[in-house]
Amino acid sequence: MSRVQLTGADLLIDGRCTRSDLTLDGRTIAALGGRLDTTAEVIDCSGLVISPGFIDLQCNGAVGLDFTTDAMSIGPVADALPRFGVTSFLPTVVTSPAARRRAAIEAVLELRRRDPGSGADAIGLHFEGPMISPHHLGAHVPAHVAPLDPGEIDEWIASEAVALVTLAPESPGALDAIARLARGGIVVSGGHTAMTPDDLAAARSAGLSYSTHLYNAMAPFNHRSPGPIGAVLADDTVVAGIICDGIHVDPTAVRMAWNVLGPTRMSLVSDASPALGMPHGRMHLAGFEIIHDDTGVRTVDGVLAGSALALDQAVRNLIAFTGCTLADALATVTSTAADLLGLIDRGRLVVGMRADLTILDPDANLVATIVAGNLAHGRL
């Protein structure tokens, strides 16, 4: 696509769906509204909703591929993700040896050298671990749980390929690691944790700003011991990720979190495993054999191990579970994610930003995905 004007759609602008036209010039949003552009190819999008491209902050793999096991699979998965409305994502590497993380850094740097538009943009890595609680592992290998080495942190910062790190703030040495990461421009998240409200407060002061998959792989809430769930919900400065598949978190618990967090503090993530885009069956994730069936994606011992959740389905689920508006649901996978990562070139429909678009019908069913001005999925 070169210069194209999309007409008659409802555009997600400033938290509202507003009827207007949108002009793309190559990889950039060139204009909003205005007269019919006679220099552009005009495409009638009446009856459709145009959102900024979806941003997934936690994706472990898809289409049978797993980033932790094979870092070179990031490219093929990037090519598949526009099928689910995703235009940018954080490939997630779970608790594993340092060599796996280094391989992922090299893979992302290699992807940055290819032409944009052929798939979703791997904007940086999400290292989920290895500094997590041994008591809240989820589907992480306990033998690989370890403190963060200051030298490795410096490597991550210098590479500019790491965007997000999940750790347990109550771990010995965690506050120093948080401060070091945050000073280096890496977003820090609390997850796989038993942190108390006091732990969270100390971590916030050190630079933590996110909570990884709220409710999952963390100590439970109790009214006398609120733990990480209560700590996050009570702190109005923390953004929280939610796996909104109805399996990881009951719809009532999603609704409870939504009533507290709203569209600016809830970040929908897929937590996708190799099962995304695949039929039911057995596959592998980071050293575990996993089973994908009607109960979700689980290890052979029944522990949840990522999901088969498409991000566009997560948006539809949020609307169904909470009754929120489409505009508010879309914020959780666009502007909220972009703001958390400090991205200034995507996440909103603004002149000069990347031409990353997710186009939907009024019921949030995916119609097309445009990455850097190129039609990556669907038809218009």
Name the residues annotated as catalytic.
271
Collapse the DSSP code of 119 into the 3-class scheme (helix H, G, I; strand E, B; otherwise coil) and give the result: coil
Sign of CA dihedral 233, 236, 242, 246: positive
**How far, in Å, are 18, 264, 339 from residue 21 at the CA level?**
10, 26, 25
Cα angle 242, 296, 135; round to 5: 65
Question: What is the residue-wise DSSP string for 49-93?
Answer: EEEEPEEEEEE-EETTEETTT-GGGHHHHHHHGGGGTEEEEEEEE
User: How many residues in total does the chain contain?
Assistant: 380
Q: Kindly give, in sequence order, each residue whose CB lies less than 8 Å from that of residue 205, ignoring residues fewer than 6 positions away.
A: none
Are 341 and 56 contacting, i.e. CB atoms less than 8 angstroms apart? no
Q: Compute how many other C-beta atoms are within 10 angstroms of the C-beta atom of residue 8.
A: 14
**How far, in Å, are 7, 8, 19, 374 from residue 36 at the CA level?**
9, 11, 14, 21
Are 132 and 168 contacting, i.e. CB atoms less than 8 angstroms apart? yes
What letter represents residue 333's amino acid? V
Nearest Cα residue to 276 out of 252, 304, 311: 311
Q: Kindly give, in sequence order, each residue whose CB lies less than 8 Å from that of residue 316, ignoring residues fewer than 6 positions away.
A: 363, 364, 365
Question: What distance in Å separates the CA atoms of residue 309 and residue 268, rounded to the nearest whole number?
Answer: 11
Question: What is the residue-wise DSSP string for 256-300?
Answer: HHHHHH-TTTEEEE--B-TTTTS-SEEEEETTEEEEEETTEEEET
